[in-house]
Amino acid sequence: MLLDDHVRFEYLGNTPSPDVPIYTIIFLSTVVNSLIFYLLPSKLTPSLKTYVISTIHAIICVCGVINFFVRYSVNLKQINRTAGGGIYGTGDEIMAYNICYSLGYFIYDILLMLFCKSVRTTAALAHHIIILLAFYAGIINGICHPCHFYLLAEELSTIPLNLKALYHNRPRLDGIFGYLFVFSFLVSRLIYGSIICGYALCAGLEFFQMAFNADDLTSITFGLIQGSLGFLTRVLNIYWTVLIVREVLRPSEPKNKSL
């Protein structure tokens, strides 16, 4: 059933704009990230190269979300937010651009993990596949699309984690970045991420009601898929939290006394 665009805007918003070249941006992002990997100095191991590229991606994502919130914090009262989390009448292409860039990054990283065992971990591969599916479904169908953009700020914890790995040979910096990682993970992924997911859940109830009233079964289906994928990301965050707590609470090995 084809629905009037205005009816769908009531619960989906109008992002992404039809004018955004989604597939072109995703392709270019994949190519550029791959080129950066191969152009980085050969003296760096594949793992170190991935840390550098991941840090660049994280910085761009966090800055993009911060810029968005700063831009609209002054005019929040003038923005008509829809039940689906979209923004009606504003054409926020910045969301689509950032998500498409991230999709290209995740495609590059998944391909790298598939072909390079040294950079592959089961948890990271599962996380990237889940994010890739969720982001793609969101950008194509508009379901929970803005919340995906907001969640990109969770990449804040990735920055100190990567810097810790890059400077593991310098104990002082390694320790500083280690503490920053634990703090940023707590703030960005457990607190901030949970708030965004809670917002998506509350908005989702109204979204499903409006989509059901409009007989939009496609949006309902993709909404349920998005909810399931979002739940899996929270499970992964809890899993990583357990690992972090175990690492922090692990007793340090006693130094061998000189004879």
Higher confidence at residue 116 or residue 143? Answer: 116
Residue 181 banded pLDDT, cuts 50, 70, 90:
very high
When divided into structural domains, the chain yields a total of 1
Residue 87 C-alpha from the chain's centroid = 20
State which residues form the domain around 95.
Answer: 18-249
Tell me whether residue 154 is in a domain.
yes
- Give the DSSP H/E element, type plus range, for residue 81: strand 80-81
Six-digit token string for 66: 């911060």
230: nearest Cα among 199, 190, 187, 197: 197
Segment 71-100, tens digit of pLDDT: 776 554 444 444 444 444 454 677 888 999
Residue 185, amino acid: F
Tell me whether residue 10 is in a domain.
no
Tell me whether residue 7 is in a domain.
no
Tell me whether residue 259 is in a domain.
no
Tell me whether residue 255 is in a domain.
no
Q: How does the average pLDDT of the chain come out, rounded?
A: 80
| CA 212 – CA 205 distance, rounded (Å) | 11
Over range 209-235, report the average pLDDT.
Answer: 79
Tell me whether residue 195 is in a domain.
yes
- pLDDT of 107 over the 70 cut: yes
Mean pLDDT check: name the lowest of 78-92, 140-154, 211-225: 78-92
Residue 9 banded pLDDT, cuts 50, 70, 90:
low
CA atoms lying within 13 Å on the CB side of residue 106: 22
Sort strands 80-81 and 87-88 into parallel, antiparallel or unpaired. antiparallel
- pLDDT of 177 over the 90 cut: yes
Tell me whether residue 118 is in a domain.
yes
- pLDDT of 227 over the 70 cut: yes
| CA 38 – CA 171 distance, rounded (Å) | 29
Per-residue confidence (pLDDT) for residue 229, from 0 to 100? 78
Tell me whether residue 243 is in a domain.
yes
CB atoms within 10 A of CB 156: 22
